[in-house]
Structure 1
Amino acid sequence: MKKTYIIGLLVLALLLGLSITGYRYYSKIKKPNVEVTSDLYIPTGADFEHVKELITPYLNDLDGFIWVANKKNYPNKIRSGKFKIEEGMSNEALVNYLRGGEPETILLTFNNQDSYEKLAGRISLQIEADSITLVKTMTEKQFLELNGLDENTGLSIYIPNTYEFYWNTTAEEFRERMLAEYKKFWTAERIEKAKNQGLNPIQATTLASIVQKETSTINERPIVAGLYLNRLKDNWPLQADPTVIYALHQKYGQDSIIKRVLSKDLQINSPYNTYKILGLPPGPIGMPDISSLEAVLNPAKHNYYYMCASVDRIGEHEFTHSLRQHNINARKYQQWVNEQGILR
């Protein structure tokens, strides 16, 4: 009896020990461990030590995560990207997701930037690639030449919009995607429309960049495009102030603030000064959005050759075919600018 009792106690102790051990293992694997829902960004080339450092703030039990990760060989299967970890995730669910789940995408957005550096700065805030690598990639001579571009025209392929990307997109992948989007935009129909205006896609983009800089009022853009096309067809200089500002920025730096173009500015020697050159400048002065591109492809038909900022409808323009009326409009605007104390 006594021997049987002792054996029973030993068996019970063994079962209890196995139960405790089993529960501990179960807890490590199945028990909720992620304390808060968050986005986890794992950079390219990260090792397990780096991942542990990144994920520690979100876990209740780091040791349990490490144990499960090792059991599932995660340290040798680390993937980069943006991962959305959910509150209440177990170590098993977390490791399985990081090992084989679909990374999150981001919505990448950029607007009318007027230099590679500004575009790269904007993009590097949204994906893993850094701005220096982006600029180097976007201006790579071999890539530009292969696609009939140069440094003056290369900005043409970057059409402002919102695009879906993976966070760990490389600079090369970003560039190639933008080239693909550019080719997708320039359908046979749009190429034909540009041809009808005497332009190819790069020239249309260049003119659209001037239209974009000239007016932020979208319903004015077809009118402005029509005015500049009238000038081009009649071999007039465009005399577009935004191109002079672009030339001044090239000379004095992108950070120089120019709110008013002065008479002396019109004398700057630059292929972008459309007061001195005939035709279009060597390339776009920014990245026009789709509304500006469509304005050039579908311009308003009119006989306007002159435009001046309106003082009665701020943000809009006064259009005319008469030089006399334009001079009246210009004097009115210059008087208003002087009253505002805008000297430069």
Structure 2
Amino acid sequence: MKTKMQMCLSALSLLVLAACGDGSSSGNASRQVVTVESIVTNAAAIQAAAPATVGKSAPGDVAGLLAYVPGTAPTRLVVFCHGLGHTVEASWYPAVVDFADADTAVVTTNYRDNDQLPVLRAAHDTLAATLYAKQRFPSVQTVYLLGVSLGGAVSGTALVEAAHASADGRGLFDYWVDVEGLSNLSEAWAEGTAVVPEFAAYIEEETGGTPVTVPDEYVRRSPALRAQEMASLGLRAAVVVHDLNDGLVVTNQGHEMALALLTAGVPVQVFNVLRVGDGQDPGTTGTGALAGFLGLDDPNNLIRLAGHGSEADYAHPVIRTGFEQLRMMLDGTYDETTPYAEHAVDDG
């Protein structure tokens, strides 16, 4: 029997699809009614199978969403990983509904300590949700992973930690879209220590120390330092999207990730988002953070360089580009044969 939450979510999906009609953003004119269920998973078994951590690791249940078309046997699974300060119910519901179709199930989950920086715990929570979806739909053959901001670190860590979650030690994910993702935790800790001590404190709580005292814990949560493992676990191709004027996850983290993937032999395409259009919210900007520190006006008000987009703002060019590339992967129009390519996205 469905819970009240499940029935409410399913009813909302019907309203969303009715509003979209045949002109939904997915481009699929034969969309069927999508059911969205509220699910609860627990990563205790995965955590027990993985190497121990000196960081925070208390197990617990987490809520998520699973979307699918009833009566179908989807061969594809999309997994979304959210960022800091977001919940899947508040920020991801429209995307969950939009990407689900007769051949595609979608799953996404909240994290333990959702309002902090639970990179490893969140990766294990993501793996638990992925396994749950695959058990529900054993027809799934290909798995697509997309993470935004903190979700970039979470999804990248999940790619490698999947070896501890699968029965044969193999990977679970085939394609990855990393959107303005955190990729090097030591760098983020150093930046946080200098500018936002609370942020650095969250990282220390997650890892159990500093990069000096527990370096392996930082490496374990830094996707840019684990690209070779991603390749060995079967990652077929990746997309990295980052903005030029990021005030939360500096843009070099995206390029570090992309170059690490290139070196590991994983085909990767990089999308550099330059400017937002008139009337668009640029997001959290690096120039804004610096100007605020100096007591000045943000010069970006004039030049409108793209900043860190909110994952709840689907019109932001960073978020939009990530979804567009995922859609191309699903539609079979994404070129996964090119070893490396860089693109510019400019809405200005």
Normalising by the smaller structure, the TM-score range is: under 0.3
Q: Which has the higher strand share?
A: 2
Using structure 2 for the length normalisation, give the TM-score.
0.24
Using structure 1 for the length normalisation, give the TM-score.
0.24
